[in-house]
Chain A
Amino acid sequence: MFFFTYLGRELRRRMRQAVFIAIGLAIGIGLVITVIGASSGVKAAQAKVLRALYGIGTDVTVTTKPELPSAKPIGGHATSGGPGGAGPRAEICVNGKCYTSGTVDTLVPSNVGALSQSEVAQIARLHNVSAAAGGLVLTDNRVTLPSASNPNIAPPTSFTVDGTDISHPRLGPLSNARLTSGRAFTAADENSDVALVDASYAASHDIKLGSTTTVAGTKFRVIGLVSQPQAGSPPNVYIPLARAQSLAMDLGTGQKMNGKVDTVYVTATSAADIATVQGEIQRLLPQATVTSSSDLASEITGSAASAAKLAGALGTWLAVLVLIAAFAVASLLTMAAVARRVPEFGTLKALGWRSSRIVTQVLGESVTIGILGGLAGVGLGFAGVAIIDKIAPKLSATVPSASGAFGTPQTVTGPGGVASGALIGGPTTGHTTVAVPMSASVTIGAIALAVVLAIAGGLLAGSFGGWRAARLRPAAALARVG
């Protein structure tokens, strides 16, 4: 009781100094919380991007390099002299069969090779693997060739298709999606021509629930609409994996992809096992590219990555410097206060007070200031995070795709076109750029850190002063009187 009375009275006497020290600590701690909030906001934004591509539960993705095609399975060119020799003529060949009119609709994988379902099963059996599911990341390219009645070539269209293993709903891009209308896949849909369509894509292409959408020339009934987080670049259409395998064509072999996948999504038994799982898969499939979400996060570029670096480097250093300055000022002011109180402590020692009791008194005062500064710092941290939330611009993230990005639209020239020999269905680039809304937030961890820092700051400041008070000999302390 006496301890708290003495502590309270002393803090009231040094109110201005106490407030000054507390404000210094508050600024440092508030900055730390803001930096952590901003940093975790950027990381969360990056995670959103990755989740949109690989799903919530995916720890590791496995892909393999494409085989070099022995012959070009898909090719196209435009030549002068159209039908009847009246003008330029376009021709597209698929697996040796050439088309000069009508619509050519192909479903091809991105720039990765194929893995077999048995390899997926082998991965699933690995010791530290909780689940593994194969998927196909495909691009549907559709080109309508000019005809005599319609000599003008229509621009080619393209959309992305995800062949989803519906027996593993928690893995792959669909796991991150939210059903907005209709129903999800069921086991009975495994070999059915049913599709889930991205709600934004459906809205822009006038695709309604219950209507049909065409994939590789086959009509699929739309059973549900789904939406992915804003940060992602989700597939446009999801169809059952078995149907995707039967419709897609392997660019390496020119064959259908029955029994094949191009990406394996893997969940480790625990976060600590991810590296082990990576190694196990790499040993199992030496030719495969095994990528963890953290590998991908490190490859994210664009303003999101810059913001992450800014928050991680400059922000952290700024916070650390301000904290050091705040701790130093607090320590110096506490030592100055102790110096002024030397006769007081000398008197207490003359009364028989233990040095440890005096040190505890000094520490108690500085820790109290530290805690008050910490509380104010948490408030400042919340304010800083709110300001960031308010003013932060949308970030862009360029993400390396584990299976290559979804296909980019190819062009083919025809009558009236300017180029000839355009190729469709070829390899595509492996990056996707998406807009990332940044949302900073104060975490429990950050608040806990603030409390620890506040107490540490108080203890640090108090320990210097306390040490000085403890080593005073009573006679020397009393000699300072008058």
Chain B
Amino acid sequence: MDPSDDIYQLAGVSKTYRKSGREILAVRELDLDIRAGEWLAVQGKTGHGKTTLLHLLGGLDRPTRGRVTFAGQDLATAPESQVRRVRADSFGFIFQTFNLVPTLTAYENVEAALIPLGLHHTQRREQVAAALDTVGLGDRAEHLPGELSGGQQQRVAIARALVKAPRVLLADEPTGNLDEDTRDEIITLLDTLWRERRLTLVLVSHDSSVVRRAQRIGVMSRGRLSIRQDTRA
């Protein structure tokens, strides 16, 4: 495998937080390469650094030490404006609690992801409609999040993540708030999208039934990542 296929290269990454006067080492000395189009699942107990790793990959936080290189740019040292642009263009986020804006309709929530791109509203309308159709919610566009089920809300969140055709999808416990049937629906949808769109998918979950669909499974324990399974070709 040519290393240039790696979309992410993490080297010596550590992240320390200060909480109540104490230093907490959330991620320690982490080295990781992620290939473009790969599905990496990260398991681990609560508080062992899974979400912190995802935030570092998504440019939502900066490491205390080390490099987080995405497509040749070091997100650890790049100016905030540049990191913001990478977030706007290349990353789609899916959260456990959906994180939809409660006052905006499904359509508007998806549209919010296109605002930083400065697209004309006609183009936005087409892309939003297509994204909602993809997740099977074309007929619920005018519904507020409160009027949708948990599964539907997560579908809206997935549409929001996909609408800008990102290179990377970062999902933090995407099924954590869903019942079993809905969980399977969502994970099947993610699986389909990953295959069809050749996305790089990094999914954090403590649910084994979710992570086993991934090509590579890592486990975070006390801030360290160890790869348990690798089915990549």
Contacts and interface: CB of A to CB of B under 8 A. Distances in A.
A6 B93 CA distance: 21
A252 to B, nearest CB: 85
Interface in B152-177: 160
A354 B84 CA distance: 7
Given A6-B104, A343-B97, A351-B88, 7 more contacts: A9-B103, A12-B103, A346-B99, A352-B116, A481-B96, A481-B99, A482-B97
A481 B102 CA distance: 14
A475 B87 contact: no
Contacts of A473: 60-61
Contact of B60 (A12, A350, A357): A350
A13 B88 contact: no
Interface residues of B, number: 29
Interface of B: 52, 55, 58, 60-61, 84-85, 87-89, 91, 93, 95-97, 99, 101-104, 108, 111-113, 115-117, 121, 160
A347 interface: yes
Contacts, number: 83
A94 interface: no
A129 B113 CA distance: 69
Contact of B116 (A5, A10, A351, A475): A351
A1 interface: yes
19 contacts: A5-B104, A6-B104, A9-B104, A12-B103, A13-B102, A344-B101, A347-B93, A347-B95, A350-B93, A351-B160, A352-B85, A352-B87, A352-B88, A352-B117, A357-B115, A478-B60, A478-B95, A478-B99, A482-B96
A347 B91 CA distance: 12
A473 B87 CA distance: 13
B111 A2 contact: yes
Nearest to A344: B101
A473 B101 CA distance: 18
B49 to A, nearest CB: 13
Contacts of B60: 349-350, 473-475, 478
Interface string A176-208: 000000000000000000000000000000000
A99 interface: no
Nearest to A353: B116
A348 interface: yes
Interface string A320-355: 000000000000000000000001101111111110
Nearest to A6: B104
A1 B52 CA distance: 35
A346 B104 CA distance: 16
Interface residues of A, number: 26
B108 A481 contact: no
B115 A353 contact: yes
A6 B105 CA distance: 10
Interface in A8-56: 9-10, 12-13
Nearest to A352: B88
A13 B112 contact: no
B61 A474 contact: yes
A421 to B, nearest CB: 92
B121 A1 contact: yes
A15 B111 CA distance: 24
Contacts of A474: 55, 60-61
A166 B85 CA distance: 80
Given A354-B116, A357-B115, A474-B60, A481 B97 contact: yes
Given A357-B115, A474-B60, A481-B95, A351 B87 contact: yes
Contacts of A351: 87-88, 93, 112-113, 115-116, 160
Interface in A335-388: 343-344, 346-354, 357
Nearest to A7: B103
A478 B96 CA distance: 11
Given A10-B103, A13-B103, A481-B95, A350 B58 contact: yes
A9 B100 CA distance: 14
Nearest to B96: A482
Contacts of B93: 347, 350-351
A348 B88 CA distance: 10
A362 to B, nearest CB: 14
B61 A475 contact: yes
Nearest to A481: B97
6 closest A-B pairs by beta carbon, nearest first, are A352-B88, A475-B61, A9-B103, A352-B116, A347-B99, A474-B60
A343 B93 CA distance: 14
A7 to B, nearest CB: 10
